[in-house]
Amino acid sequence: MDENEIQLKRRDNEEEATRGRARILGFPYLDTREFEETIPLTKDLIDVAMMHQNFIIPLQRGGGEQNYQFMITSQTPRSLISQMQSDYNAEGEKIDFFLISNSAYKVFMLRYDPPKEVHYDDIKIGGEGDSETIASVSQTLATVSTEKVFDFLLDQADKLGASDIHIENMRNEIRIRMRVDGLLHPVANIDRDRYRIFMGELSSRANVSTASNKPQSGHMQKEIHVDGASHLLNIRVETIPTMYGQDAVLRLFNFDENLLNLDLLGLTEEERKEIDEVISHPRGLVLMVGPTGSGKSTTLYSMLNALNTSDRKIITLEDPIEYGITGISQIPINTNAGGSFAEGLRSVLRLDPDVVMVGEIRDADTAKTAIQASITGHLVLSSFHANSTSAAFSRMIDLIGANPIFSSSIRLIIAQRLVRTLSPSKKPRPATEAEARYIREVFEGASREKLSGVDLENITLYDPVTSPDDPFGYSGRTVIMEQLVVSDEIAKFIRGEVADINTKAIETAAKAGGMLTLEQKGVLAALRGETTLAEVSRVI
């Protein structure tokens, strides 16, 4: 029996009990189920407060103006019924009472007095040291109803564009912080009663235990509705026991398949051309490198979307799956439970894919399997932990040794970061002498062709302009991307033809071939007015 059938059965039982009670009390019984949602409401006979207080509802006027009918329940005071009969009869008016069930009474009251939609103030993020905003948000969270507070926090985090929610146990309270545009901001301090509500919701929705003394991982989804539109929010949940309680981090993935598009990444024409050239080939290895939160997954998924055509078989191996994409076979690899990317990759190669994405290369076995796949007719995309493209080359050589096969498989390494973008209110200013000297040093020896249009003599930089509505002067983030296309000179390092194999030597060779480093790309973004030197320094 499903839930709907159970509810109908309960209502049947309640109506039958009310019928018996009506006989005992001496009132006619009325089953309202056929009309309780549709009958016109009778207004102005008694006020809503009286209906709530005395469990009485006007049904209708009878055939004439002097004929009235009311619905009552077993909780309606008998003294009120007697008083109304006396008052109406004294005026020469006829009054009838009908006994209805408590469920029927509740249905009518929802029509007479529908619940008012409560609108809570949006969460705001204050500037450095802004304790008033934190206190205000804390007060708002304290007033949100128990059943809505968890969803309210998720809705607000999505509205702010937050990538993470951190729920942290302090000695006397619980701190909530949100990561917006890459920076953590304190949002509110709440009491432990609210914390228990949050953790209770996490327990039921993400399948994590609030009593566990070990780190846990979970996953949940939430439909977000904004201005008539909706989107799916994927939420990865991580919990860990701490000194004062169980901390939780909720990583938010605002999934919209249409946003996973290379055209929306803000790439320069040259960066886009290099990526298109590499992924248009039927085989080879493409690596994305960078720290957690640098946008690697978004770029990889955007490449997959560009390759996602009806004539290609695309398979991904992920831990966990962050975005579900139509037309792609996505396989979860639970490495915590003994799963292996290398083993999974060997299995899927039997399925004859054209393109394979491996969530991350973590060991020599996975690296060698990915390289083998990339030289046998597959395009392999993967991520790898390194600070730069040159460091990734160096680390990969350390992992698998000098390898001639690797030199013929690796085609492109991309390192990227996300820097905050200046708001339109930004203010231009001439660079200081120290800044100008630093910028010229950064571009020393760089390809003149790559720096066409850059004036290194009269340098203009931009500063953020803050306001109450924009306390930081930044809005959103943009990609800074370093691309190392493997040339024959770079391949010599992999083949072991260069005696001194280190990150610096590889970077020098790459720069001689025209590559611009992350630092150089970041400074170019500052010169274009997209960001600031301080932001480039913080991130890169």
Tens digits of pLDDT across the chain (540 residues): 566 777 888 888 889 989 999 998 899 999 999 998 888 888 878 888 898 889 999 987 655 556 888 999 999 999 999 999 888 888 888 889 999 999 999 899 888 888 766 666 777 777 666 778 888 888 888 888 777 888 889 988 988 889 999 999 999 899 999 999 989 999 999 988 889 888 888 888 998 998 889 999 888 888 887 766 677 888 999 999 999 999 999 999 876 676 788 988 888 888 999 999 998 888 999 999 998 888 898 899 999 999 999 999 999 999 878 778 889 999 998 877 778 899 999 999 999 999 999 999 989 999 999 999 998 889 999 999 889 999 998 888 888 887 777 778 889 999 999 999 999 999 999 999 999 999 999 999 887 777 877 888 899 999 999 888 888 899 989 999 999 998 888 888 888 788 777 899 999 999 988 899 999 999 999 999 999 999 999 998
Whether residue 320 is preceded by a cis peptide bond, meaning omega within 30 degrees of 0, is: yes
Structure tokens at 164: 């993470």
d(CA 426, CA 205): 42
Q: What φ, ψ does residue 424 adopt, rounded to 5°?
A: -60, -20
Contacts of 501 (CB under 8 A, 6+ apart): 394, 397, 402, 493
Beta bridge partner(s), residue 249: 166, 238
- Distance between CA atoms of residues 96 and 59, nearest Å: 10
Predicted local distance difference test score (pLDDT) of residue 493? 86
Distances (CA, A) of 219 to 207, 235, 269, 316, 520: 8, 6, 37, 19, 38
Distance of CA 210 to CAs 145, 217, 239, 350, 497, Å?
22, 12, 9, 42, 56
Res 463: pLDDT? 96
Q: Which tokens belong to 353?
A: 């894919």
- Coil/strand/helix, residue 84: helix
The beta strand positions in 160-201, using DSSP E, are: 162-169, 174-180, 183-190
Instruction: Report angle CA 181, 382, 506 to the nearest 5 degrees.
Output: 90
Cα distance between residue 233 and residue 218, in whole Å: 14
User: What's the CA gap between 146 and 141, in Å, rounded?
Assistant: 10
Q: At what angle do helices 503-512 and 488-495 cross, to 10 degrees?
A: 160
Closest alpha carbon to 423 in 471, 391, 482, 384: 471
Closest CA to 344 of 354, 355, 331, 353: 331
Beta strand extents in 443-499 (DSSP E only): 460-463, 474-485
- The DSSP bridge partners found for residue 477 are 420
